[in-house]
Amino acid sequence: MTKRRRATILVAMVATASLALAGCTSEQDKKEAAKAAAPPPQLSISPAANAKDLPISTEVGLTVTGGKVTAVTLTDDKGGKVAGSLRTDGSSWLPDKALKNKQRYTAQVTATNDAGKEVTQTTNFTTMDKPAKEIFSTLYFQDKRTYGVAMPVTVDFDPGVPKEKRADVQKRLFVTTTPAQPGAWHWTEDGQQVFYRAPDFWKPGTTISVKAMLDGVPMGKEGFGDADRSATAKIGNKVSLDIDNGTKQMSVFKNDKLVRKIPVSLGKPSTPTSSGKMVIMEKHEQTVFDTTGSADPYVVTVQDAQRLTWGGEFIHSAPWSEGDQGSTNVSHGCTNVSAANAAFLMRTTQVGDLVTVRGTEVQLDDGNGWTAWNMDWDEYVKGSALPVPQDLKPAAAPPAAAGAPAPSGPPSTNQPPAPAPSNPGG
């Protein structure tokens, strides 16, 4: 073979090797080059610089593209760091507790992209003075308690929260459950109560942690939220009471097994007991029913009383009506049982147990007690001020056949209960 021929073959081999090497690395090289050439993330934060008179519930708002937030620092005017965390959707950084009034704060936020390029922005703002008007809130969920499987997380507001502010308030309410049982919030029409529950009852043994971060939250012209509150509690065994006006009997179920039948006397026609799904709200070994100022005034001390409504419907011991229990309704709206059966119920039930009443002359009003279960899930989720997660939305109903009858059932009401004297009953 001539020298020229050998040289041509060698050049061809080198060229082929180079092409092969280029083919193996070019895509990776392109990715690395693209990463190196990528611009830093785009970041914007709020509040605007030098903003003044902001509520003490202020969060650091975050908008980032081409990267993610990797650091947030909020400091007061003395350099003290404020503890907090990112919301799960990354929309803001939330302080662990309300800020201080008339305080200047500085926020510094860093965002980073995959190439390690960073951008940092800083803003500062000053909080408002202590507000002159507050909306008082109550969290009906106490720390280290055991509740029934129907226990809704309930927050009460006085006065009620206007509709245009409910979404902002709802964003400040947090519930976590172990094991996980996602749920949704529902506002009563008057805005005085908001409930949280899952589509089905809590599983016995569930741990529920609640944070109502309402201190300083704007709630309309009536004022700002009064305080932050939190609690962690557990769910006990499943107990439910089913009261049938037709038979004048209460069926007591424990873990879905019937354990006792109890004769009852419900509300007489002039003061009927409400039909619907209620939840035991309070338990009293002794309490006083005082209806002074009503059309039917009386004051009476009762034993072993369990509240079902704000309007004053209780299950309680009524030895004076034992002759009527199981046959005739003679109460002022309460469920009367014998002293022995009332004592049994006090030993058996928990706050948060479901009580269902059927067949009386009136229906339970929305918000007259913890009425979160007095509607189906489709209706319940309509009361959320924020979009409900897709996996919690009701399944679409199939189209009704032409001429099909409308579904039957008790009418839904959104009227708040009439004001009642403290702790009435009968």
Looking at 247-361, list the stretches that DSSP marks H as alpha helix, in order from N- to C-terminal side.
339-348
Answer positive or negative: Cα dihedral of 66, 85, 381, 134: negative
Identify the active-site residue in 186, 284, 332, 334: 334
What does the angle CA 133 – CA 138 – CA 139 come to, to the nearest 5 degrees? Answer: 140
Measured CA to CA, the distance from residue 23 to residue 20 in angstroms comes to 5
Strand partners, 258: 253
Identify whether 24 is a catalytic site residue: no
Identify whether 186 is a catalytic site residue: no
Hey, how many other C-beta atoms are within 10 angstroms of the C-beta on 333?
Answer: 24
Residue 167, both tokens: 């979404």
Looking at 126-267, list the stretches that DSSP marks H as alpha helix, in order from N- to C-terminal side.
163-170
Residue 405 is given by DSSP the state P
Instruction: Indicate left, alpha or beta for 281 from its phi (over 0: left) and psi (-120 to 50: alpha).
Output: alpha
Measured CA to CA, the distance from residue 339 to residue 322 in angstroms comes to 9
Q: What backbone phi and psi angles, to 5 degrees, belong to 115?
A: -85, 0
Looking at 119-212, list the stretches that DSSP marks H as alpha helix, in order from N- to C-terminal side.
163-170
E strand or H helix at 31, and its extent? Answer: helix 3-37
Measured CA to CA, the distance from residue 227 to residue 98 in angstroms comes to 9
Select from 208, 198, 205 the least CA-distant residue to 232: 208
Q: Within a 13 Å sphere around the CA of 120, how many CA atoms are in the beta-carbon half? A: 7
Identify the active-site residue in 24, 186, 284, 316: 316
Residues catalogued as catalytic: 316, 334
